[in-house]
Amino acid sequence: MFKQEAIEIIRKAITKEGILASAQQKDNYARVWSRDSMMTGYAGILIHDEQIISGLKRSILTLAEHQAENGQIPSNVVNSKASYGTHVGRTDATAWWIVTTCEYLKTTSDDTLKSSLKEKIYQALSCLKTWEYNQRGLVYSPLGGNWADEYVTSGYTLYDNVLRYWALKNTSEVYNDPELKAVSENTKNLIQQNFYKNDSNVTRYHEKAYAKASAKPYFWASLNANGYDERFDLAGNALALLLDFEMDIQAFSEFLKGIRDEFKHWMLPVFYPVIFPGDDDWRLLENNYSYSFKNQPYHFHNGGSWPIFLGWLCLGLKKKGIREIPEKIMTEYETLMHEKGEHFREYYSTDKLLPLGTGQLCFSASGYLFMSL
C-alpha cells in the first residue's frame, strides 16, 4: 500500500525541469533541489521506475545548466533562477549531483550524455577540491553548509566527506579514471583514520584532538580546529555503512538499540544527543534559521526523526547483513502513518512522534522506498 503511494507522490512531483521537493508544489518546495532530486532519483534507480528515472535526467540537466563558474552546482533552481545557498553555500548539493549523475550514467547506455556531462562533472569535483582549503584531502563545510542548514555541525563533517568520497569513486568508475580512483581510495582512508577511533600509527588531521576524542561505536560527526564534535550523525553514518567503511557493526547495532530504548521507539533522531537551552551549543542553534525557529528539542535537526535518512540507514545496515533493525524501523514508520494519518511528512518529533513539516515530501517517500528494498 505505502510503496505505491510513495511512488505516486514522487511521480506527481515531476515537472519538465525535474523532480520537485514535494508533490504539493508549494512555497520553497516547488523547486528542483539538488540533494532532494538526486536522492529521489536514486530511489527511482533502485526500484527501476522509468518515470522517476526520466525525472532524474531532467533534474540532472537543469542543475548542470546552472553550474557556476567555479564548478559549483546550485542548491536549487526555480523558474530558471539558481540559488547556491542563502546564508552560506551548500557543500552537499555539488556532491549529491555528481554521485547520482554518475549512478544514472551507470544504469543507462547514453554515451552522448556521458560525454557531454564529463567536463561538468570534473568541474564540480574541482570545486569540491578547492573546499579542502588546506589541500590535505578533506572538504571543509561552513556552519549551515549542508542539508542540516539550521544545525550546529561545521568543519570537516563526516556527512560531506563521505559524500565527496562517493562522488570521486563514482566518477572514477564511470570514466575509468585510475588517477581519480587512487584519490578516492586515499579519501576513504583519510575518513576512516580521522573519524573513527583506532590504534593505527598514522598521521591524523588534528593529532591532539584525535588523542582526546572518546571512542564511540560510530563515526564522529565532525572535526574542527577546536576539536571533534563527537555527537552521532545518523545520515553520515548511514552513508558510511552503505559505502563499506569499516565499523564494529555489532557495537553499532547495540548503540542503535540503546537509543531506541531511551526514546521508546525506532524513529531514531537524525542527530543525537538532543541540544537543550543552557547547553553549550544552544547559542549556535537559536539564531540559525531563515524563516522561523524549528530546532526546539526533539524537533527538526535537533533530534527530529527524518524518514529519508532512516531509509539510508536501513540500506546501510542491510549492506552489512543486519536486517532486524531495518525491519523494525519500517514497521514503526508504517504504524505511525496508519495511526497519525499523515503520510510522508518531512520529519517526526521524537518526544511525541508528531508528523511535522511539509507533507507529500519526496524525501520521505524515497526514505520509505529505501526501507522497503
Each residue's pLDDT tens digit, 39-55: 999 999 999 999 999 99
Three-state SS at 33: strand
Confidence at residue 210, expressed as pLDDT on a 0 to 100 scale: 97
**pLDDT number for residue 199:** 87
Phi-psi region of 278 (alpha: psi -120 to 50; beta: other; left: phi over 0): left
Q: Are 319 and 241 in contact (CB under 8 A)?
A: yes
The Cα–Cα gap between 210 and 216 comes to 12
The set of cell numbers assigned to 323 is: 536486517
Torsion sign across C-alpha atoms 54, 60, 63, 66: negative
- Residue-wise pLDDT for 137-158, tens only, equals 999 999 999 999 999 999 999 9
- Kindly give the interhelix angle for 234-242 and 249-263, rounded to the nearest 10 degrees: 150
| pLDDT single digits (tens) 338-349 | 999 889 999 999
In this prediction, residue 190 carries a pLDDT of 98
- 119 CB-near residues (< 8 Å, 6+ apart): none
Which regions in the chain score pLDDT beneath 70? none
| pTM (two decimals) | 0.98
pLDDT tens string 167-187:
999 999 999 999 999 999 999
Q: What is the pLDDT of residue 262?
A: 98
The total of other beta-carbon atoms located within 10 Å of residue 352's CB is 9
The share of the chain scoring above pLDDT 90, in percent, equals 95
**C-alpha cell of residue 221:** 560527526
Q: Computed from CA positions of residues 101, 105, 107, 109, in that sequence, does the dihedral angle turn out positive or negative?
A: positive
What's the CA gap between 67 and 128, in Å, rounded? 13
Q: What is the pLDDT of residue 1?
A: 82
**What's the pLDDT at 290?**
85
Residue 339 has what pLDDT? 96
